[in-house]
Amino acid sequence: MESFAEHYGAMYQTVNRCLPGADMERIDRAVEYARQKHKDQKRKDGSPYIIHPLAVAEIVAEMGLDMEAILGALLHDCIEDTDASFDEISKLFGKTTAELVEGVTKLTRANFSSSEEQQMENLRKMFMAMSKDIRVVLIKIADRLHNMRTMQYQTPAKQISKCRETMDIYAPLAHRLGMQKIKWELEDIALQYLDPGAYERIMNYLSAHKEQDEAFMHTIQEKVTDRLSSMGIHNTTYGRIKHVYSIYRKMTTQDKAIDELYDIYAFRVIVDTIPNCYNVLGHIHDLFNLVPGRFKDYISTPKPNMYQSLHTTVIGNQGIPFEVQIRTWEMHETAEYGIAAHWKYKQGGAAGDEKDFEWVRRLLESQQDTDAEDYVVSLKIDMFDDEVFVFTPRGKIVSLPAGSTPIDFAYMIHSGVGNALVGAKVNNRICNIDTPLENGDIVEIITSKSAKGPSRDWLNICKSNQARTKIKQWFKKEKREENIAHGKASFEAEMKRLQLPMSALSDGELEAQLLKKLAFDNWDDMYAAIGYGGLTAAKAVGRIRDDINRATRAPVDKNTNPLKTVEDTRQNRHAVNGVIVEDIDSCMIKFSRCCTPVPGDAIVGFITKGFGVSIHRADCPNTVHRDDPRQAARWVRVRWASQDEQPFETTLELDCITRDGLLLDVATAMTTARIRVRELSGKDLPGGRSVFTVRFEVKNVAELEAVRNRLLNIRDVTGSRRGQN
């Protein structure tokens, strides 16, 4: 049984040491609060529950985290295990602390056990995605570390499952975050339960050779220290045996007995400056024989988790090889505490916030390797915002675009499941099939043999391209008659809206010309395509509009003044291409290429010779002659037809810093925004800069601005301009 006083004292001292000047009164209030809340609970060994949060807070303080994180650690089990609420904690200890506690609670509730190897990366991503604030991950790792340290009180079944989870999730995360010390401890404890025989054999071997090992390490240490001191290099040098799990891995991967293993010894030389690291390296290579091919310079090329050191392996005169790691104190700190060292430096007040921010960002970013790059990390983790990770009832993880619904999930499993979908359960409760899924949800699809198949509405509900494609395929195959009827109706409506005669479609020569333009063999095929969503009616009509106009209104174009040719018999103005020209009905409209206006822009029209009215943005440089009396009569007032949803083409030019993969990032951003891109090109300029031109379709200015913001959020995109010409 462990006592409150003992743990409280240890925590108190560690906080004082690691967070000098901390408001201990605030800490005490949190301790008292947690103690009250947990007062009826006991740990498995019979100790009062409060010793667990105290121990976790001590680890968190040891990591060097801040006040909020320590408070969060003290309160981390309150929401899950007691009647404490987010609001209460928020009121008493601040919103940040409450958010940290809530974040830890979410992770506690989620199930991170999965047996399949390829699912591990997704599990770790989900873990990070659910955490949002990196401190939540760190508190959770500290929580796990203390639970591992007290694992002996758990049942054997629980020991195995917790240790597996530690190996699969927590140790790799600690490694990813650069926290070697914690990673090693987690692995060694887990091995103890997962392969007790091997653990014991290694421990027995090590303890049998303890004296021998220590004598060896002492000799080497002395030799190194003597040399460096005589050269005036201030150093801290020590030897250690590598941790048990790393010896275990060497044995299993190299299939060797422990006494056949080489390099189980590692020495560290810690010095004050980087030049001295290289000086030390020279002396080591002078004192001992170098093992070729083992030298690594992680100072000039840090590891992805920011680890820096020089590594070399040498052989002393006893013929025993050993590794030497040479680093500065700052590198040492980073190697031991990883991302948490960030707070240590920050509290020192020396480094600016900007630099710290960069440090964390790079640390997390460099881990991503091939993953999408558009995430921002300050203290928040937004890197997986585009994805949501959910489980099948059997524990398999499915990754979907954020905002996905059970419909997307069903089609991700199999098109047969999607087509037979009649309902869904999320976390064991029946819910609507358009409910957005959240990280960690367990999703079960209810299917029926008598299901009528997908509904057209699903195309608007689902978020994944996979689901949309499969739904369209179904309509294409199963519902040709219905598709034709459906497609024909929308096509006719569109023709009517643009005042184009349906009779053009059966007009011998013209019919063939139009079908060719549309790339269909007959009208039914085209109606079917519109019906299942492969083509929009607006697009189809748009493609043949000019041909029909030319054929049916040919005499009109010969007239010198297009204004006079327009029948103006109706009172109601008709929108053409979404634009209403005041005083003129049904004239030809074209959008100027110089300023590519979209709905919402202020616009003016200019009557061209023979090509109808061309629409410019009011601020287009080409409209400056509006007041010129010779042309004034040709400028007409125009406005957008409000309810029109037809897409408009526009162009953005992006100023960028040249980078491989940037074009792909732009393309990806456009795809995820569901924007139809007509043209995407880039050219490099001198000085490491590039300009990209994106021509695409939007419905209005609001959408255009949304796209523009999205593009500006891409790394290395520095500016944007509405396209000229």
Among 69, 64, 79, 65, residue whose Cα is nearest residue 34: 79
Closest approach, Cβ 120 to Mn ion, in A, equals 23
Side chain identity, residue 64 = G
Q: Which is nearer to Mn ion, 73 or 280 (CB)?
A: 73
The interface region with Mn ion, picked from 62-70, 95-103, 142-150, 389-397 by CB under 5 A, is 142-150
Tokens of 75: 């309160």
Q: Which is nearer to Mn ion, 38 or 268 (CB)?
A: 38
Please select the residue that binds Mn ion; options are 143, 165, 213, 703, rule is CB under 5 A: 143
Q: How many residues does the chain have?
A: 725
Closest approach, Cβ 112 to Mn ion, in A, equals 15
- Counting Cα atoms < 13 Å in the Cβ hemisphere of 380 gives 8
Q: For residue 45, list its beta bridge partners.
A: none
SS3 content of the chain, % helix, strand, coil (to 5): 50, 15, 30
**In angstroms, how far is CA 68 from the centroid of its own chain?**
25
Contact present, 585 and 567 (Cβ < 8 Å): yes
Residues 269-288 that bind Mn ion (CB under 5 A): none
Q: Which is nearer to Mn ion, 11 or 504 (CB)?
A: 11
The interface region with Mn ion, picked from 140-148, 218-226, 233-241, 555-563 by CB under 5 A, is 140-148
Contact present, 575 and 598 (Cβ < 8 Å): no
Q: Which residues contact 375 (CB under 8 A, 6 or more apart)?
A: 381, 382, 383, 384, 385
Neighbours of 535 (CB within 10 A): 20
Per-residue interface string for the shown chain with Mn ion, residues 666-685, x marking contact by CB under 5 A: --------------------
Among 72, 63, 81, residue whose Cα is nearest residue 19: 63
Residues 526-565 that bind Mn ion (CB under 5 A): none
The interface region with Mn ion, picked from 137-145, 167-175, 545-553, 700-708 by CB under 5 A, is 137-145
Closest approach, Cβ 643 to Mn ion, in A, equals 56
Closest approach, Cβ 10 to Mn ion, in A, equals 17
- Give the burial class of 710: count Cβ atoms within 10 A of its Cβ; 0-12 exposed, 13-18 middle, 19 or more buried: middle
Tokens of 96: 């940040």
Closest approach, Cβ 142 to Mn ion, in A, equals 9
Closest approach, Cβ 108 to Mn ion, in A, equals 7
H-run or E-run covering 226 = helix 210-230
The Cα–Cα gap between 655 and 666 comes to: 12
Closest approach, Cβ 326 to Mn ion, in A, equals 38
Q: Which is nearer to Mn ion, 146 or 722 (CB)?
A: 146
Set 28, 32, 81, 88: catalytic member: 81
Closest approach, Cβ 43 to Mn ion, in A, equals 10
Q: For residue 681, list its beta bridge partners.
A: 693
**Strand, coil or helix: 403:** coil
The interface region with Mn ion, picked from 139-147, 206-214, 355-363, 574-582 by CB under 5 A, is 139-147
In the annotation, is 81 catalytic? Answer: yes
- Give the burial class of 208: count Cβ atoms within 10 A of its Cβ; 0-12 exposed, 13-18 middle, 19 or more buried: exposed
Residues 217-276 that bind Mn ion (CB under 5 A): none
Q: Which is nearer to Mn ion, 77 or 165 (CB)?
A: 77
The Cα–Cα gap between 529 and 520 comes to: 10
Residue 616 has φ and ψ, to the nearest 5°, of: -120, 155
Closest approach, Cβ 76 to Mn ion, in A, equals 6
* Separate counts of helices (H) and strands (E) for the chain: 31, 21
The interface region with Mn ion, picked from 111-119, 135-143, 213-221, 343-351 by CB under 5 A, is 135-143
Number of residues lying near Mn ion (CB under 5 A): 2
The Cα–Cα gap between 69 and 139 comes to: 7
Per-residue interface string for the shown chain with Mn ion, residues 394-413, x marking contact by CB under 5 A: --------------------
Q: Is 387 in the site for Mn ion (CB under 5 A)?
A: no
**In angstroms, how far is CA 497 from the centroid of its own chain?**
43
Q: Which is nearer to Mn ion, 139 or 704 (CB)?
A: 139
Q: Which is nearer to Mn ion, 71 or 310 (CB)?
A: 71
The Cα–Cα gap between 294 and 303 comes to: 16
Set 2, 28, 80, 665: catalytic member: 80
Closest approach, Cβ 79 to Mn ion, in A, equals 11
Tokens of 392: 């099948």
Closest approach, Cβ 83 to Mn ion, in A, equals 17
The Cα–Cα gap between 112 and 326 comes to: 37
Neighbours of 428 (CB within 10 A): 8
Tell me which DSSP letter residue 691 carries: E
Tokens of 670: 């456009």
Residues 25-84 that bind Mn ion (CB under 5 A): 77
Q: Which is nearer to Mn ion, 137 or 580 (CB)?
A: 137
Contact present, 545 and 498 (Cβ < 8 Å): yes
Q: Which is nearer to Mn ion, 34 or 566 (CB)?
A: 34
Q: Which is nearer to Mn ion, 66 or 77 (CB)?
A: 77
Closest approach, Cβ 339 to Mn ion, in A, equals 21
| CB-nearest residue to Mn ion | 143
- HEC per residue, 305-325: CCCCCEEEEEECCCCCEEEEE
Q: Which is nearer to Mn ion, 19 or 104 (CB)?
A: 104
Q: Which is nearer to Mn ion, 77 or 133 (CB)?
A: 77
The Cα–Cα gap between 7 and 454 comes to: 60
Compute CA distances 449 → 407, 417, 432, 433, whole Å: 17, 10, 19, 18
**Residues near Mn ion (CB under 5 A):** 77, 143
What amino acid positions are annotated as catalytic residues? 80-81
